[in-house]
Amino acid sequence: MSDAKSPPALQAQTRLLHADRMSRPEHGAVHKPIHTSATFSYERAEDLVDVFQGSKSGFIYARQGNPTTTALENQITLLEGGTASASFATGMAAISAIFLGLLRGGDHVVSSQFLFGNTSSFFQTLQAFGVDFSFVDVTDAQAVKAALRPETRMVFTETIANPRTQVADLAGIGALCQQARVLLVVDNTLTSPALLRPGEHGAGLVVHSLTKSIAGHGHAMGGSVTDTGRYDWRDFPHIYDSYKKGPPATWGILQIKKKGLRDMGGTLRGEDAHRISVGAETLGLRMPAQCDSALQVARFLEAHPAIGKVYYPGLSSHPQHERAAGLFGGRFGTLLSFELREGLDPLAFLNRLRTVILSSHLSDTRTLAIPAAYTIYWEMGAERRKAMGIADGLIRLSVGLEACQDLLADFSQALDAAA
Ligand SMILES: *Cc1c(COP(=O)(O)O)cnc(C)c1O
């Protein structure tokens, strides 16, 4: 291949769209084909040996990835401004690969007390295997600092918490993790790289449920882990010798891939990687539109007499509004939650919605509403719900790409009937 058309310096959005072409797909295809082969071959036995031993890069058996998942991983790395990424079958597979791949019994983790429900449930499983957790209020970096111990291996937080929208003090937590040389892992699902790159605040690993805004369309599930290049893996005590052959910057993601994909098998299918890649190309256009609609909906709800409380970081009434404005470049995400005025029935209200769909899931193209305490946060019990600030009547809303006036009209008719 000639180098005559080597890539010029391009903006991130352009590089994202042209990432396929730069990897020179066969037959000059403008869009990368989907690879479905379970295994890959080499003409020379020496090459097969070198790829197995890691001295040459290449594909082996698709449980560890294929060209389609690699293309998606490259997109995510670009979006996050990181050094490398690994993709997984779901966001939970990505989260479990980090924790099961890197931690051992006796380790300690400082985690946000405001967690995605299944992450919270997974952390209970880890506690049964001897990993100790301190759950703290991450809106206050001092609470994180006070919980650090000599055996703390990781600090874990989400950016905007689901469903009450608490905003972590990422700058403060990032600074203290860098000072203490502790790995900071940030779940960036709720903000996406369109609003935030956690690496810029000191996160060493960024995890995503690709099922949410990065795919955006709700037609595929996936997860990812990105190494931001901000953490020095020589400080991490549990890297196996066999993963220490390359430069230290490669150790962490290699171990996460080997454990999470090769050993635990949480592999993303090529078909789904392709669907997610197609979605990722338009993230930078969808997120601003959905965030702007979410802000309008939040303002409308806050002003309505049938509403008790609205939680959205874009409202000046939100306790971390200023912080969110600084961190997220003036946009505040697609998730908000609210409570009806005392005495109004949230389920009856939901039944009156016509355009808004009753469903779980976040950052879909469609607007989705769910009574959070009775559904996604039911299993954890009343005590944990209380610690997370989830009232029984709390309704979680994920704002989609519909014309905003249609959403406002739908809320208006359902609320007027309630009041
Ligand atoms: C949905 C979600 C996950 C889990 O992702 P799946 O793709 O559903 O497995 C993890 N973290 C957050 C913040 C999420 O919203």
**Span 7-50, pLDDT tens digits:** 577 888 888 888 877 777 888 888 889 999 999 999 999 999 99
Which of 29-33, 126-130, 161-165, 240-244 has the lowest average pLDDT? 29-33
- Whether the per-residue pLDDT at 231 is higher than 90: the answer is yes
**What is the token pair recorded at 261?**
């994909």
55-113 residue pLDDT tens: 999 999 999 999 999 999 999 999 999 999 999 999 999 999 999 999 999 999 999 99
Dist CA 155 CA 153 (whole Å): 7
Mutate which of 118, 123, 219 to test ligand 1's pocket (most atoms within 8 Å of Cβ)? 118
- In which band, very low, low, confident or very high, does the pLDDT at 388 lie, cut at 50, 70 and 90? confident
**What domains lie within the chain, and their CATH numbers?**
12-280 (3.40.640.10), 284-418 (3.90.1150.10)
Q: Which atom of ligand 1 is nearest to the CA of 115?
A: 13
Residue 83: φ, ψ to 5°: -105, -30
Strand partners for 157: 186
Tell whether ligand 1 has an atom less than 6 A from the beta carbon of residue 190. yes
Whether residue 335 has its Cβ less than 6 Å from ligand 1: no
List the alpha helices (DSSP H) in 338-379: 346-352
Which pLDDT band holds residue 5 (cuts at 50, 70, 90)? low
b vs e for 160-177, b when ≥16 Cβ sit within 10 Å of the residue's Cβ? bbbbbbbbbbbebbbbbb
State the chain's mean pLDDT as an integer: 95
Q: Is the CB of 221 under 6 A from ligand 1?
A: yes
Q: How far is the CA of 2 from the centre of ligand 1 (A)?
A: 43
Distance 162 CA to ligand 1 centre (A): 10
Q: Which of 158, 212, 337 to mutate to test the pocket of ligand 1 (most atoms within 8 A of CB)?
A: 212
Task: Give the tens place of pLDDT for each residue, 311-353.
Answer: 999 999 999 999 999 999 999 999 999 999 999 999 999 999 9
Q: Is the pLDDT of residue 4 over 70?
A: no
Enter the pTM of the model.
0.95
The alpha carbon of 327 and the centre of ligand 1 are apart by a number of angstroms equal to: 21
- Protein residue whose Cα sits closest to atom 6 of ligand 1: 91
Q: Is the pLDDT reported for residue 3 higher than 60? A: no
At residue 387, φ and ψ (nearest 5 deg) are -60, -30
Q: Are 411 and 367 in contact (CB under 8 A)?
A: no
135 touches 112 (CB < 8 A): yes
For residue 1, the model assigns a pLDDT of: 40
Burial class of 321 by CB neighbour count within 10 A (0 to 12, 13 to 18, 19+): middle
Pocket-testing residue among 209, 221, 335, 362, ligand 1, by greatest number of atoms within 8 A of Cβ = 209
